[in-house]
Structure 1
Amino acid sequence: MLPFDTTTPAVVFKLDANVLHHGGLGVIRSLGRVGVPVYAVHEDSLAPAAHSRYVRGRWLWSPDPTENGLILEGLAQLAKRIGRPSVLIPTDDAAAIFLAEHGGALASYFRFAQPPRDLPRQVAGKYSMHELCRQLDVPSAEATLIGAWDQALDFADKVGFPLVAKLSAPWLPRKGKLRSTMIVGNADELVEVYQRCGPAAVGGLMLQEYIPGGRGHDWFFHGYCDAASVCRPAFTGVKERSYPAHAGLTSLGRCEDNDELLREATTLLEKLAFSGIVDLDFRWDARDGRYKLLDFNPRLGAQFRLFRDSAGMDVALASYLDLTGQQIRAGRQPVGRRFLVENYDPISALRYWRRRELGLRSWLASVRRVDEVAWFARDDLLPFVLMCTWMVCRAVARPWRRRIRHPELAEPQYVPGRNHDSGNPTRRRRERLFEEYR
C-alpha cells in the first residue's frame, strides 16, 4: 500500500449499548494499523474493543440515543479534548441518524459523510425502507406495519408462515429480550411475539414475507459513497451463515463477484444521493429471479473487514481518505476471501445442524478456510481475551441479565488508550489501571 497522510485523528462513534460490537474493533484496527490516531466511544470500561492496542484514547459514555442535546454536548467535549478536527465514523444506525439530522452543529469539530438529512432514518426504518422501495420500484419483500392484531392475522393469511417480524425502528431503546428480527413459524409464535412487544407492537412492529432461501441465496453489498454518490470501493459477498440462522448478522461471509447486484446497488445509491459507508442485505428470490432488498444500513456493516481489495482499501479506510481530501486507490475485490465471527458462528452452526443443513465435517472445513476473524489477531490479543470473558459471563448470568445503560456514563469520561503517547509508559500504565478501576 502506498503511503498517505495519517495525521488527522479518527473517532469511532456508537450509541448502541452492544458491548460486543466487532465492527467498531474492525475500524480501530483498520485505521490504527496504518498509523491513524484512533479514539473511540465505549459503553463499558471492559468493552473488548476499548482495549485494542490501536486505541489512542477512549470515552466511557453511554448516552440515551434520544437525548440529542446531551449527545451534541458530549461530542463537543470529545472534540475539544482531541484538540483538532477529526474524522467521525458512525458504526450503528442511531449514530448515523443522529449525525445526519444534528451533525451540522459539529461541522467545526469533525469531518463526516453528509447524506440527505432525512435519508438515514428513512432507510434504517424497516417499513419506511419498504415504502421507499415501492416508490423507486426496487424489488423487496411484501410487508405491513401492524396497526392492530387483526391486521397481523390478515397478513399471515395472505403470505403464509413462516414470516419475519421486525422492529420498525430497531435503533430505539427497547425493553425485554426482543430481537430486532425474528422468524415466526406459526400462529402461536406470532401471538407470542405480539404479546412480548406489548403496546409498542402497534406502529412499531413490521411483518414481512419470508422469502425461501438456500445456499448462496443471501447476499450483501458494502461500499463507500463520496459526496457525489460515486461508490468506491464497492464489494459484494455471500452470507454463508448468520446468527440467528437465516435471519441475523453474518457469522461467516465469503467475498464473491456479482455484477448484477453491484449494478443494482450502486444505481439505487445514486438515485438516493447517498453518501457515506453503506451495508445492504439482499436475498435471491427464485420465484421471480430477482434480488430482494431486505435491509439498508446507512453505516458500516460489522463484517466489513471481509472486504479488503488489492489496493489495501476497505470501506473504513476509504471513508477516512475521502474525508481528509485524499485519493481512494482502486483495486480488485478479494474473491473467495472468508470472514468469521468467533463468538457467534459456533452457536449459529449448532442451529444449522439442528435444521440438518450443516454437519460437523463441513463446519470444520469452512472454519479452516477462513482468512480473517472478527476478534482474534496476533498483533492485538486483548480484545479477543475480553470477548471470551464476556461470553462466559453472559452464559452464566443469562437468567438474571438485564439490558441496561450505565447511568454514571450519561456524560463522557476520558481514559487514555493502550496506544496513548506518553513520556513515561510504566507510570501511564499504572495511572490507567487506577483510572479504570477506582
Structure 2
Amino acid sequence: MVLSCEGHCEPALGVVRALGERGVPVIVLSETAQAAAALSRHCVEHVVAPQLGGHPPALRSALEALAERHGGPLPVFPTVDPDLDTLVRLAPSLDARLAPVVGEPALMLQLMDKAAFQALAEQHGLPVPRTWAPADQAALRQAAQEAHFPVIAKPAFPYHWHSALAQAFSGKKAQLLDDPSALLAFGATLGERDLGVLVQEYVPGADDQHIDVHAYVDRQGRAQATFAGCKRRIYPAHAGSGCYVEALDLPELERSTVDMLQRIGFTGLANVNYKRHAVTGRYTLLEINPRVSQWGFFTTRAGVNLPWLAYCDQVGLEAGPLPARRVGLRFVDSTRDLKAFRQYHAAGELTAAAYLRSLFRWGLVHQSLDWRDPVPGLSLLWRHARAVLGRAR
C-alpha cells in the first residue's frame, strides 16, 4: 500500500511503479481523488482518505479497513514527511496485519526533527556542520556571535511551518545568510519565541556537490542495497532539491553511509544527503530522511529497486539478485528543471546550449512520463498545461 499526500505525487508514483514492475498489485491511499499514482496501471485499488497527512484518526481508520478487507501482511509505504510522521506515531498500535515500512519510531522522529537530529549526530560523531537551534531571539544573537559565516537557515521541522516561517523561506528549503546582520534581520521576521529554525555553517561548494545515498536496511539491520546520485541541478537553485540527477558509483561513501546507519540503529528506507566540501573534499552530512526521495524511482531505473527489497523483507519473500547498476544514467524533473535553468541562466551559471545538451541524452529518465506507464504522466502534463493557460488568461 502506498500513501500519497496532496501536492506530493512524484514519490508515491515512483513507489507504485517500482513495486508494480515486480508484479506487486498496489493499493494507493490518497487525500484526493486526483492522485496521479492512482492512475498507474499497477494500481489495483484507490482509497481516498481526506486529511491523510497529519490526521492520525483518518489514517488509522483507512488502514485498518484495508487490513480487514485484504488481510496481511500488508506493507505500507509512506512517501513524504506528513504521512511518514503520522504513520510513525501510529505504528506501535496498528493492526498486526499492517506492516509499515518504517524503523523504530523514536529514531524516526529524531531524524525528522532537525534539532533532535543534530543532537543525535553529535552523540554518534557523525560528520555534520556546526549547528544551532535557537529557541528565541537571545539564542539567535548568541549563534550570530559564535558562527563562522556564511550560514544556512532552514526549518527545524520541514512541514510544521507557522505563517511567519513560511513567508521567510518563500518556498525554499533554506536561506543563505552572509553575515551576522543578515541572520539577525532574517530572525526578526520570525517572532520572539519558537523560531522553528536551525542555523548551520555553510559547506562551500557548487550545487553539483550535493550527493545523496539511498539505502534499504532490513529489519535485522543488514544493508540490502545502496545507490548514489549527484544533484547536477537543484530547484530552487542553491536552496532546493534535485531536479537533474546523475547515477554514480561511490563505494567508499556508500559503505560509510551503511556503517553510519547501522551505528545509530536505523532500519528501513533511507535517503541520506551529503555535500562535498569544495576545499577539503570531505563529505559533510546534511540530513537523513527515513523515506524515499522525490526522485526515488530513478534508483529503480538505475538497477536498485529499494521498494521491492523493502516489500520482500516485510512479507518474507526472497528478493533475488538485483540487475547491474547503470552508472551515468541521468534523471530529470522537467517542470522544475526548466525553472532551475532560468535561475542558473540569469546568474550566468548555465548557458542555453549546455542546458539543451543535458536534455538530449540517450536513456534520460523522466520524473513522471514513462512509456511503460503513460497515463499518470500525461495526466500531470495536462494539469500543468491547464494551469499555465489559466494564468495566461
Question: Structure 1 length normalisation: TM-score?
Answer: 0.80
The yes-or-no answer on 1:375 pairing with 2:385 is no
Contact 1:342–1:373 (Cα < 8 Å) also in 2: yes
The aligned counterpart of 2:305 is 314
Q: How many residues are matched? A: 385
Q: Distance in 2 between matches of 1:268 and 1:397?
A: 48
The yes-or-no answer on 1:49 pairing with 2:37 is yes
Q: Distance in 1 between matches of 2:189 and 2:386?
A: 26
Contact 1:47–1:386 (Cα < 8 Å) also in 2: no
Q: Distance in 1 between matches of 2:207 and 2:25?
A: 41
Equivalence map 1:235-274=2 (5 Å): 235-274=227-266
The yes-or-no answer on 1:99 pairing with 2:92 is no
Flag the 1:228–1:162 CA change in 2: closer, same or farther, 3 A: same
Report sequence identity in percent. 25
Equivalence map 1:80-119=2 (5 Å): 80-119=68-107
Q: Distance in 1 between matches of 2:352 and 2:389?
A: 26
Query: How far does residue 351 in structure 1 lie from its aligned partner after superposition?
Result: 1.2
Q: Distance in 2 between matches of 1:280 and 1:146?
A: 24
Flag the 1:303–1:101 CA change in 2: closer, same or farther, 3 A: same
The aligned counterpart of 2:381 is 388
Give the alignment partner of residue 123 of structure 2, picking from 125, 131, 135. Answer: 135
Query: How far does residue 380 in structure 1 lie from its aligned partner after superposition?
Result: 2.5
Per-residue CA distance 1:172-197 (angstroms, 9 max, x = gap): 36545554622234578656754554
Query: How far does residue 54 in structure 1 lie from its aligned partner after superposition?
Result: 2.0
Q: Distance in 1 between matches of 2:12 and 2:119?
A: 30
Contact 2:54–2:83 (Cα < 8 Å) also in 1: no
Worse-superposed segment, 31-40 or 110-119: 110-119
For 2:143, the aligned partner's letter is: F
Give the alignment partner of residue 132 of structure 2, picking from 97, 120, 144. Answer: 144
Flag the 1:390–1:205 CA change in 2: closer, same or farther, 3 A: farther
For 2:123, the aligned partner's letter is: Q
The yes-or-no answer on 1:327 pairing with 2:315 is no
Query: How far does residue 122 in structure 1 lie from its aligned partner after superposition?
Result: 0.4
Equivalence map 1:33-432=2 (5 Å): 33-63=21-51, 65-159=53-147, 161-172=149-160, 174-175=162-163, 176-177=166-167, 178=169, 179=171, 181-186=173-178, 190=183, 193-194=186-187, 197-198=190-191, 202-214=194-206, 216-308=208-300, 312-331=303-322, 332-369=324-361, 371-392=364-385
For 1:152, the aligned partner's letter is: L
Give the alignment partner of residue 3 of structure 2, picking from 2, 5, 13. Answer: 13
For 2:378, the aligned partner's letter is: V
- Secondary structure of 1:240's match? strand
Per-residue CA distance 1:383-413 (angstroms, 9 max, x = gap): 2233234434555778xxxxxxxxxxxxxxx
Q: Distance in 2 between matches of 1:81 and 1:364?
A: 50
Question: Structure 2 length normalisation: TM-score?
Answer: 0.88
Q: Distance in 2 between matches of 1:248 and 1:167?
A: 13
- Secondary structure of 1:327's match? coil
Flag the 1:70–1:173 CA change in 2: closer, same or farther, 3 A: farther
Query: How far does residue 22 in structure 1 lie from its aligned partner after superposition?
Result: 0.6
Q: Distance in 2 between matches of 1:360 and 1:69?
A: 50
Flag the 1:148–1:350 CA change in 2: closer, same or farther, 3 A: same
Structure 1 residue runs without a partner (length 5+): 1-10, 399-438
Query: How far does residue 360 in structure 1 lie from its aligned partner after superposition?
Result: 0.9
- Secondary structure of 1:46's match? coil
Q: Distance in 2 between matches of 1:318 and 1:352?
A: 37
Query: How far does residue 73 in structure 1 lie from its aligned partner after superposition?
Result: 2.1
Contact 1:232–1:328 (Cα < 8 Å) also in 2: no
Flag the 1:158–1:357 CA change in 2: closer, same or farther, 3 A: farther
Flag the 1:194–1:388 CA change in 2: closer, same or farther, 3 A: farther
Worse-superposed segment, 289-298 or 158-167: 158-167
Q: Distance in 2 between matches of 1:192 and 1:375?
A: 40
Flag the 1:394–1:137 CA change in 2: closer, same or farther, 3 A: farther
Query: How far does residue 247 in structure 1 lie from its aligned partner after superposition?
Result: 2.3
Per-residue CA distance 1:187-208 (angstroms, 9 max, x = gap): 7865675455446x62511111
For 2:308, the aligned partner's letter is: L
For 1:206, the aligned partner's letter is: L
- Secondary structure of 2:116's match? helix
Q: Distance in 2 between matches of 1:392 and 1:185?
A: 36
Contact 2:49–2:59 (Cα < 8 Å) also in 1: no
Contact 1:305–1:339 (Cα < 8 Å) also in 2: no
Q: Distance in 2 between matches of 1:155 and 1:329?
A: 51
The aligned counterpart of 1:7 is none
Query: How far does residue 336 in structure 1 lie from its aligned partner after superposition?
Result: 0.6
For 1:53, the aligned partner's letter is: R
Structure 2 residue runs without a partner (length 5+): none
Flag the 1:66–1:304 CA change in 2: closer, same or farther, 3 A: closer
